[in-house]
Amino acid sequence: MTAYYEILFGLSVILTLIYIAIWHKHFDVHISLIFAFIPIVNLAYAMMAHSRNLDTALAAAKITYIGGCFLVLFISQSILSLCHINVKRWQSVLMTVICLGVYSFALSMGNAPYFYKTVSFEIDRGMGRLIKTYGIAHTLTYVIIALFVIINIVAMVYSLIRKNDVSNKNIALLSLPMTVSFISYFVSKFLPDGIDAMPFSYVFAQVIYLIIVHRLCLYDVTDLGIDSLIKKGDTGFISFDFDDKYLGSNESAQNIFPVLKEIRVDTYPGKQEIIKKTIFKWLEEFKRDETKDHFYYEVEDKIYLITIRYLYDGKHRRGYQFFITDDTDSRKYMKLLTNYNDQLSEEVKEKTANIVQMHNRLILGMATMVESRDNSTGGHIRRTSDVVKVLIDEIKKDEGSADGRKNIRLLFGKDGFTEEFCKNMIQAAPMHDLGKIAVDDAVLRKPGKFTDEEYAKMKKHAAEGARIVDSILEGTENESFHKVAVNVAHYHHERWDGSGYPEGLKGEEIPIEARIMAVADVYDALVSKRVYKDKFSFEDADRIMMESMGKHFDKRLERYYLSAKPVLEEYYRSMGDK
């Protein structure tokens, strides 16, 4: 009968040696403890069988209860770990303390009645065994084992239902050693004297755990990825602690930075010139700004991508890790692509500029053609465009003060006054009177004031101008310019008090671009000579403009008119009667 225990002990040793041979540093520590403890426990069972006195038998029995008290703990902790269920430190400590408490009672056997009430020794068929009656502490062992079994069952069922990152096959395998050990613990009480099923269940558990760890290697994507990178040899690794002391590097990194071969581990390598100018320079940038974690290093005909990350030991940061990969082909391709894109972009920009220039000349030509038909507005297009530019410049200057920014927000909205708007406004100004092309020459070229009927015909030029501008710019990619140009043509004769035309819009119903155009249009009409009137003096023109603020014009534009007035007066003086 002793051969039964000897064989099981031998098998447990062989299985543990196999585990050692395939061991990986990332294997769960509790599995390693299972393989370490099982041969010890099975040896104790063999010692029990060979014992020839009570003291030896009791010593062997105390060792066997390591299995009952601790192997069930290790199995439970391995199941929780392999099911990816995080156990808090205090929970793990509590489970260990409970098992230690139970085992302390087991150590009292033969000295106190807590675990064994009574115990004696006999030799039966050449094999030593204990004859005992169980105490209350032994019953507690059953309760603790049952509790661990329940925890394991709950963990595995939870993983089956909720965990997509745990293999169902592995969960099924995990259930086998737990089930067999649980059954064996209680079945042993009913087997013939001298036969204990527990050593067999432990060997069975080793076999299952060997299968599990072999499978787990395939599911550990992180470890497989790191191992594959290291084995392939294309990725270099360099490590430093938080004191910038060198921790080590692999062969690939040393081939790229040969000086690493001369640096001793745990020393500061910053005195090495090449390290100072490259690795430590990148590291300092990373320390200042963690988003700067990618750098390029060119040596000979190679371009390497350097990536810096924190070096972790479990959940704890311990230093810095450099990853070095050959990015030569990618960088050369990107450089070629960038050069091609730059060249293509320049060609497109040049052709686009030519098209825009031609487009602008066409529009300006049309506006000039219209103006040539109107003998009362010579040079009006050019002058109003210049006035609009002066007003826009004054608005830009006002952005420098808090009060100015507030006024601009009231006029344009939070994000309305942009560089794009300014450009569009200046470009659209010459188009404001395009609608006059549809006005009859008899009206347009009349040398005196209009009759009411003639004035009604003239007022139609605003809506007609919006239609023409919309038609000209239809399909343009610059939608914002399209909108500004149409609004300028359509609404530049609207008045703030609602008395204008063609729609009778009032206040902020009038687009801001049309309100600015109105100021420029009226000011030019006042200070310029027309066939039906002489030009007003700057003083009279200014009086009319100021009286119109809040009536004809948006009162909030007054500050820009006033700041622009000296520039405008100087401009019109230089123009003379042109």
Q: How far apart are CA 471 and CA 473, in angstroms?
A: 6
User: E strands of 270-366, at which residues?
Assistant: 294-299, 302-313, 316-326
Secondary structure of 32-64 in HEC code, one letter for each residue: HHHHHHHHHHHHHHHHHHHCCCHHHHHHHHHHH
Task: Report CA-CA distances (Å) from 263 to 258, 282, 524.
Answer: 10, 19, 80
**How is residue 139 written in tokens?**
């019953």
> Which pLDDT belongs to residue 394?
92
Q: How far apart are CA 327 and CA 305, in angstroms?
A: 6
Return the CATH superfamily for domain 346-575.
Answer: Hypothetical protein af1432 (1.10.3210.10)
User: E strands of 365-511, at which residues?
Assistant: none
Question: pLDDT 10s digit of each residue in the chain, 578 long?
Answer: 688 889 999 999 999 999 998 887 667 888 889 899 999 999 998 998 889 999 998 999 899 888 878 888 888 888 888 888 888 889 889 999 999 998 898 888 888 888 889 998 888 878 888 888 988 888 888 888 888 888 888 888 888 888 776 777 777 887 887 777 767 766 766 666 667 888 888 899 889 888 888 766 555 544 544 555 555 556 888 999 999 999 888 888 888 899 998 888 888 988 888 899 999 999 999 999 999 899 989 888 888 999 999 988 767 888 999 999 888 877 676 666 666 666 777 776 676 556 555 656 666 666 666 665 555 555 788 888 899 999 999 999 988 888 888 998 988 887 788 999 999 999 888 888 888 877 777 776 676 677 888 878 888 888 888 898 888 888 777 888 889 999 998 999 999 999 999 999 999 999 999 999 999 999 988 988 776 678 899 999 999 999 999 999 999 999 999 999 999 999 988 876 55
- Long-range Cβ contacts of 127-136 (<8 Å, 24+ apart): 127/1, 127/2, 127/49, 127/50, 127/194, 128/48, 128/49, 128/50, 128/51, 128/52, 128/53, 128/56, 128/57, 129/48, 129/49, 129/57, 129/193, 129/194, 130/48, 130/54, 130/57, 130/58, 130/61
**How is residue 529 written in tokens?**
């000579």
**How is residue 433 written in tokens?**
């009177």
Question: How many CB atoms are closer than 10 A to CB 491?
Answer: 25
> Which pLDDT belongs to residue 17?
94
The structure tokens 């009206």 sit at 443
Are the CB atoms for 299 and 324 separated by under 8 Å?
no
> Which pLDDT belongs to residue 221?
43
Return the CATH superfamily for domain 232-326.
Answer: PAS domain (3.30.450.20)
Are the CB atoms for 75 and 181 separated by under 8 Å?
yes
On whether the 2-219 domain is CATH 3.30.530, my answer is no
Q: How far apart are CA 170 and CA 7, in angstroms?
A: 28
Are the CB atoms for 422 and 455 separated by under 8 Å?
no
Helix (H, G, I), strand (E, B) or coil at 272: coil
- Per-domain boundaries in the chain: 2-219, 232-326, 346-575
Enter the pTM of the model: 0.45
* Distance, CA of 145 to chain centre: 46
Backbone φ, ψ for residue 324 (5° rounding): -120, 120
Q: How far apart are CA 126 and CA 6, in angstroms?
A: 14
% of the chain surpassing 70 pLDDT? 85
Tens of pLDDT, residues 303-342 = 899 999 998 876 788 899 999 988 887 767 666 666 666 6
* Distance, CA of 378 to chain centre: 60
| DSSP H/E element including 235 | strand 235-241
Are the CB atoms for 95 and 103 separated by under 8 Å?
no
| DSSP H/E element including 130 | strand 127-134
The structure tokens 């810096």 sit at 308
Q: How far apart are CA 544 and CA 357, in angstroms?
A: 37
Amino acid in position 502: P
> Which pLDDT belongs to residue 175?
80
> Which spans in 374-451 are helix H?
380-397, 402-412, 419-428, 441-444
Helices 54-66 and 89-106: crossing angle in degrees, nearest 10, is 170
Same fold, 2-219 and 232-326: no
Give the residue among 175, 159, 154, 176 at the shortest CA–CA distance from 219: 159
**How is residue 355 written in tokens?**
């098209």
> Which pLDDT belongs to residue 224?
46
Backbone φ, ψ for residue 295 (5° rounding): -140, 160
Tens of pLDDT, residues 536-578 = 999 999 999 999 999 999 999 999 999 999 999 999 888 765 5
Q: Half-sphere exposure of 12 toward its Cβ, with a 13 Å CA cutoff?
A: 27
> Which pLDDT belongs to residue 195?
76
Q: How far apart are CA 418 and CA 307, in angstroms?
A: 39
Amino acid in position 508: E
> Which pLDDT belongs to residue 346?
75
Q: Which residues, in sequence order, are bridge partners of residue 549?
A: 553
In sequence order, what DSSP letters do the residues of 59-106 get, joined into one string? Answer: HHHHHHHHIIIIIHHHHHHHHHHHTT----HHHHHHHHHHHHHHHHHH
